[in-house]
A and B are shown apart, each in its own frame.
Chain A
């Protein structure tokens, strides 16, 4: 049994989805936590400092590479699995069996595609200007000065982006997709890595549903806060 065999069988591919999924769940915690600095109500000072730390310190930059690898693996593997699984039933049913499972557990690929579309927009809005463009290059990203050093003003970027009600609606809808994707994905990932003990499964299910509500809610509140001028 080689490792290649182990991770390319039907169960192995699930394991790849589960491990990358749990890694992305951890990323969401970090992302939501850092972004919550916008609510410090200090005109973005704490948030900009946090964003500068993440963008300039070596540890988060190395982890960022891991994040991109994880995201790509999760997306590519997800699509390949979906196509492969669909090919296993050439002739479909006249009456579909939908009562035995939740709609979102059957729609992970659709929800994931919506998230991918959101991700492209999101990276265009915030990641490319601050990481690739250098200071102030793309979209005229604003800067601010602190103790004689120039920093990206991502807070001002957020303020600018979330002035458009259309963008705010898209972000909130994406948070809805994320909520349902997590509602199934969180507990399913732990089942896939072998948690079958009923006591632990009950705990993980509860945490999963809580996570699927709270994290997307926190994210959705960010564009809403900016749009309605709730942060100063």
Chain B
């Protein structure tokens, strides 16, 4: 495959901290290999900024393998950039053409306040998990894995929901800043397993209450979240969440 080098123009959102207003700053990045990842391209730009004495661009990243959910970036009007079912760290520069202008914005939601530049605080997701996204297990010896029979289809559906890496792209994509796809993935993950059964009702009620407290919007089933999700979490999970909520709300004491 031919190796190409790209010269690109970037429009990057710069913001000192949560209390200041930010603005777009333009940068030229030249001789970018199309085999680089998007974050490596930003690394190259940051190296250059450091040498010239400028403040490097702050952005989140961790594993750079597409599984941790730490990277974000709203690239050219889509969370995680133009590719489908892909995280920003796995987006490669061959997705762009020489001379392109790329607009890079942070996740926009009041529930995700900007820490600096492109970095946002996604602690709201952690607090939603703390409100019920777990199973309570007493300590002791691990139970034999085969002692609890689980239908293979249920296990598969649960695992499909458990694919969610909690990156927040669904919130960023949603016109209502709704966290419903994230929440529905976490609820569906546990609601389909026998281990999740004991806390099934309190889980969904408490997690929805926490989501509302964090200031996310509500879902209008537009499907933007599903289209932007790097892990292709199905919007059917939101319908399942609604069912779980209705069931718990009607029958809980």
The residues of B that contact A56 with a CB separation of less than 8 Å are: none
The residues of B that contact A10 with a CB separation of less than 8 Å are: 178, 180, 208, 211-212, 216-219
CB contacts under 8 Å to A, within B81-114, are 103, 105, 108-111
Stretch in A100-108, A118-126, A171-179 with 4+ CB within 8 Å of B: A100-108
A194 CB–B CB distance under 8 Å: yes
B58 CB–A CB distance under 8 Å: no
A170 CB–B CB distance under 8 Å: no
- B28 CB, nearest partner CB in chain A, Å: 19
Asked if residues A188 and B240 are in contact (CB atoms below 8 Å), the reply is: no
Q: Which residue of A lies closest to B215 (CB)?
A: A88
Q: Given A88-B109, A105-B222, decide whether A196 and B227 contact each other with a Cβ distance below 8 A.
A: no
A85 CB–B CB distance under 8 Å: yes
Interface size in chain B (residues, C-beta < 8 A)? 57
Cα distance, A96 to B103, chains bound together (Å): 11
- B216 CB, nearest partner CB in chain A, Å: 7
Q: Which residue of A lies closest to B21 (CB)?
A: A91
Q: Which residue of B lies closest to A194 (CB)?
A: B243
Q: How many A-B residue pairs have CB under 8 A?
A: 150
A92 CB–B CB distance under 8 Å: yes
The residues of B that contact A102 with a CB separation of less than 8 Å are: 222-223
Given A13, A92, A96, A196, which contacts B239 in the complex, CB threshold below 8 Å?
A: A196
Stretch in B36-44, B48-56, B71-79, B140-148 with 4+ CB within 8 Å of A: B71-79
The residues of B that contact A187 with a CB separation of less than 8 Å are: 221
Asked if residues B227 and A100 are in contact (CB atoms below 8 Å), the reply is: yes
B24 CB–A CB distance under 8 Å: yes
The 5 closest A-B pairs by CB, nearest first: A194-B243, A100-B227, A95-B77, A196-B239, A85-B176
Interface residues in chain B, defined as those with a beta carbon under 8 Å from any beta carbon in chain A: 11, 24, 74, 76-79, 103, 105, 108-111, 172-173, 175-178, 180, 205, 208-209, 211-212, 215-228, 235-250, 252-253
8 A-B residue pairings within 8 Å (CB atoms): A9-B208, A10-B208, A10-B219, A11-B218, A89-B109, A97-B228, A101-B223, A106-B175
